Amino acid sequence: MIFDHDMLVVCGPTGVGKTAFGIDLARRVGGRIVGADSMQIYRGMDIGTAKPTAEEQAAVVHYMVDIVDPDQPFDAAAYARRADDVVRQLKAEGIVPVVVGGTGLYIRALVYGLFDAPPADSALRRRLQAQLDQEGAAALHARLAALDPAAAERIHPNDAYRIVRALEVVTETGHPISEHHRRHGFRRPRYRVLTIGLELPREQLYARIDRRVDAMLAEGLLDEVRGLLARGYDPRLKSMQSLGYRHMVDYIQGRLDWEEAVRSLKRDHRRYAKRQITWFRADPEVRWVGPIGPSFKF
């Protein structure tokens, strides 16, 4: 099959079926999958990230999955650099890159690049980390809301890594990170891209999310988190503060009972899906596929 694009992108909210769709699409075009999920990059974090199974990864070659340990720093800039290398290599071999994932910032960084952010200042990072440890993420999020309301609205109050990074940028440059994003504009794509967005009616999507959480728990999410803690991974790590993992940590450490942990896990997955939908809906280049949108054909 021949088309006029450098890569295909499959995006959409959690639980919508991106993995299965992406594998089917990659098979149809003779492509390989480049993951675009900020959690599936971590080794040993499989169940809570809904990582493609060994069988799925054997069916189609996957890149950008299981590439760093949970305590290794990794951000959108690092993703863009490594994924760009993969995409260029695949293109050189005549293979179609099929980028699949729900982390909108990763996809945007790969397709459009990022603004020239200042490198992290280690002294400032230590100071902010100490404040985070003493005051908690909510306090730093409130501080960010005063300095950069647009960024604070976009960043979850529990996302300590992104809160700290946004505070670093505004402190070092004197300008909010949201202003840097506006100046960059993300208007000049580096590749010719066909972006396919998957959608479902909200009630149907939420029901799928609830079933997915039940499946994660049945498959052993709690034991996966216990194993990570036993291997010495700090529960304050960016990776351990993500969906599913922080909820299990809160249960293990007695801050939540089991029923509340499960209830909040499902609720936060639904909220995350809503934020993803808002992000991808803002991109006019996304071609939507599903019961609400037009059927997809090459």
* Residue 104 and residue 173 in one domain: no
* Residue 43 and residue 101 in one domain: yes
295 inside domain: no
* Ligand-binding site membership of 113 (annotated): no
Give the pLDDT score at 190.
86
> 295, 298, 281, 296: which is closest to 11 by C-alpha?
281
* Residue 169 and residue 26 in one domain: no
C-alpha–C-alpha distance, residues 256 and 253, integer Å: 8
Residues 6+ apart with CB under 8 A from 232: none
Give the pLDDT score at 164.
86
* Ligand-binding site membership of 94 (annotated): no
* Ligand-binding site membership of 169 (annotated): no
* Ligand-binding site membership of 12 (annotated): yes
Which residues face 124 on adjacent strands? none
**Alpha helices in 60-186, H assignment, sequence order:** 76-92, 104-112, 122-135, 137-147, 149-154, 160-173, 177-184
242 inside domain: yes
DSSP string, 242-254: STTHHHHHHHHTT
* Residue 32 and residue 107 in one domain: yes
CATH, residue 218: 1.10.287.890
C-alpha–C-alpha distance, residues 25 and 211, integer Å: 24
Range of the domain at 161: 122-183
* Ligand-binding site membership of 100 (annotated): no
Task: State whether the Cα torsion 93-95-96-100 is positive or negative.
Answer: negative
Q: Fill in the amino acid letter for 84.
A: D
What 3-state class would DSSP assign to 121?
Answer: coil
Give the pLDDT score at 182.
64
Give the pLDDT score at 118.
63
Give the pLDDT score at 32.
98
**What is the block-wise mean pLDDT of the chain (298 residues), using blocks of 10 residues?**
80 96 95 98 98 96 98 93 96 96 95 72 82 88 91 83 84 78 63 95 96 98 98 95 96 97 97 94 91 52
* Residue 109 and residue 191 in one domain: yes
2 inside domain: no
CA 16, 246, 257 angle in degrees (round to 5)?
105
* Residue 111 and residue 51 in one domain: yes
Q: Give 5's Cβ-side CA count (13 Å radius).
A: 18
* Residue 76 and residue 105 in one domain: yes
Count the domains in the chain: 3
* Ligand-binding site membership of 13 (annotated): yes
* Residue 36 and residue 79 in one domain: yes
C-alpha–C-alpha distance, residues 56 and 23, integer Å: 8
Give the pLDDT score at 124.
82
* Residue 196 and residue 220 in one domain: no
Which residues face 68 on adjacent strands? 42
* Ligand-binding site membership of 19 (annotated): yes
| Main-chain dihedrals φ then ψ at residue 180, nearest 5 degrees | -60, -40
Please answer whether residues 261 and 243 qualify as being in contact, where contact means their C-beta atoms are separated by less than 8 angstroms. Answer: no
* Ligand-binding site membership of 53 (annotated): no
Residue with tokens 């890594």: 161
Q: Find the length of the chain.
A: 298
C-alpha–C-alpha distance, residues 228 and 230, integer Å: 5
| Main-chain dihedrals φ then ψ at residue 77, nearest 5 degrees | -65, -45
